[in-house]
């Protein structure tokens, strides 16, 4: 069994009307550096993140406060059961101290839904302090998201769709972190 298969992924989703608040913590047997390089590898996202066909950095600057600010365009699809919808989203990302990456969507295009489906999307990765040292260290990666819809989804289906999509994406992050960790160990 590889390290990614050992990582438990469970996303807690709380729904309030048309808003979903999600949170998950992955316990990753990897270095904080490998985790950071994985979650901020925008050019590489299409290679391991389900639903993303392309990803490109449109703007990048480091402010006098040391915070790196980016605008990133992602194209792909949102899937739930037999439903698939193409999407293009531009996110503004602030990266701090190689530990926190905050993303806020600044524009959405969801195919036939255009801009009428999502009101807000914010996501945050936070690398927490490691437990243990060396090869046995476990580094927690906390992910939170706020998703606000313009149209109310059917009861329970919205929470299921959010949970399933985020769990799939976080499993992909865990698998890529494990792959990169194995590659680093082999060198």
The tens digit of pLDDT for each residue in 80-126 reads 555 667 888 999 999 999 999 999 999 887 765 555 567 889 999 99
CATH assignment of 3-186, among 3.40.50.300, 3.30.460.10, 3.30.530.20, 3.40.30.10? 3.30.530.20
How many other C-beta atoms can be found within 10 angstroms of the C-beta atom of residue 72? 20
Is residue 11 within 8 A of residue 24, CB to CB? The reply is yes
What pLDDT score was predicted for residue 159? 83
Radius of gyration for the alpha carbons in the chain, expressed in angstroms and rounded: 17
C-alpha distances in Å from residue 179, one per residue of 2, 24, 34, 163: 9, 21, 10, 24
Q: Which residue has the higher pLDDT, 151 or 127?
A: 127
Distance CA(22)–CA(161), nearest Å, equals 12
Is residue 7 within 8 A of residue 173, CB to CB? The reply is no
pTM: 0.88
- Positive/negative CA dihedral, 179, 39, 25, 107: negative
Distance CA(186)–CA(176), nearest Å, equals 15
Is residue 129 within 8 A of residue 141, CB to CB? The reply is no
Q: Which residue has the higher pLDDT, 85 or 14?
A: 14
Nearest Cα residue to 99 out of 161, 36, 143: 36
Is residue 158 within 8 A of residue 21, CB to CB? The reply is no
Question: Interior CA angle at 26 toward 99 and 48, to 5°?
Answer: 85
Q: Is the pLDDT of residue 66 over 80?
A: yes
H or E stretch including 5? helix 3-6
What pLDDT score was predicted for residue 139? 95
């Amino acid at each position: 069994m590889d390290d990614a298969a050992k990582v438990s992924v469970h996303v807690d989703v709380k729904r309030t009307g048309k808003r979903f608040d999600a949170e998950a913590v992955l316990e990753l047997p990897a270095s904080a550096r490998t985790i950071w390089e994985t979650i901020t590898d925008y050019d590489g996202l299409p290679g391991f993140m389900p639903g993303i066909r392309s990803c490109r950095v449109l703007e990048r600057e480091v402010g006098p406060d040391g915070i790196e600010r980016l605008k990133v365009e992602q194209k792909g699809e949102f899937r739930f059961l037999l439903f698939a919808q193409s999407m293009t989203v531009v996110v503004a990302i602030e990266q701090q101290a190689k530990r926190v990456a905050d993303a806020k969507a600044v524009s959405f295009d969801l195919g036939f839904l255009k801009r009428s489906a999502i009101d807000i999307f914010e996501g945050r990765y936070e690398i927490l302090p490691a437990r243990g040292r060396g090869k046995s260290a476990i580094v927690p990666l906390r992910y939170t998201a706020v998703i606000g819809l313009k149209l109310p989804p059917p009861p329970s289906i919205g929470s299921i769709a959010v949970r399933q999509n985020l769990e799939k994406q976080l499993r992909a992050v865990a698998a890529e972190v494990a792959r990169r960790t194995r590659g680093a160990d082999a060198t």
